[in-house]
């Protein structure tokens, strides 16, 4: 899987444009499922994100307001979720990697509905 990790520093203010190398570092990887999830676990600071081009969807996990969010784009639809834990993130990634692209009405591994689907 192709992975892009934009890692922002802890004290970067909100602004209209961010500069690579000043406000954030950009890392690109080609990892398997377990290593892709390890990159998601590295998300800590505001604005940081991990975009994963998985088998059936492009999945972006990001930090906003100190919470973990996800945005999923696939040929079968669009899903957005907020304020969930890493175990849910792992299940979301698993669905994207396994290639079925069917996320349904509820976030994988939970009884929670998506914020948008």
Per-residue pLDDT band at 101 (split at 50, 70, 90): low
Whole-angstrom distance, CA of residue 116 vs CA of residue 56: 19
Please determine, for residue 104, whether its predicted confidence score (pLDDT) is greater than 90.
Answer: no
Contact predicate 49/60, CB 8 Å: yes
Q: What is the pLDDT of residue 16?
A: 94
Please determine, for residue 80, whether its predicted confidence score (pLDDT) is greater than 70.
Answer: yes
Is residue 70 in a domain? yes
Whole-angstrom distance, CA of residue 55 vs CA of residue 42: 22
Structure tokens at 80: 């957005």
- Tell me the residue range of the domain where 52 lies: 2-98
Is residue 59 in a domain? yes
pLDDT tens digits for range 14-70 = 899 999 999 999 999 999 999 999 999 999 999 999 999 998 899 999 999 999 999
Per-residue pLDDT band at 75 (split at 50, 70, 90): confident
Whole-angstrom distance, CA of residue 76 vs CA of residue 40: 23
Is residue 57 in a domain? yes
Is residue 108 in a domain? no
Q: What is the pLDDT of residue 109?
A: 87
Give the CA distances from residue 34 to residues 39, 58, 102, in Å, rounded to whole numbers and listed in that order.
Answer: 9, 17, 21
Is residue 29 in a domain? yes
């Amino acid at each position: 899987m192709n992975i892009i990790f934009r890692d922002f520093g802890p004290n970067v203010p909100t602004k209209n444009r961010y500069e690579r190398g000043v406000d954030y570092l950009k890392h690109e990887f080609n990892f398997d499922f377990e290593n892709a999830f390890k990159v998601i676990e590295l998300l800590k600071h505001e604005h940081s994100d991990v975009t994963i081009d998985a088998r059936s969807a492009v999945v972006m996990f990001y930090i906003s307001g100190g919470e973990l969010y996800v945005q999923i784009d696939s040929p079968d639809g669009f899903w957005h979720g907020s304020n969930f834990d890493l175990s849910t993130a792992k299940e979301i990634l698993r669905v994207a990697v396994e290639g079925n692209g069917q996320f349904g009405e509820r976030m994988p591994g939970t009884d929670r509905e998506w914020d948008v689907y």
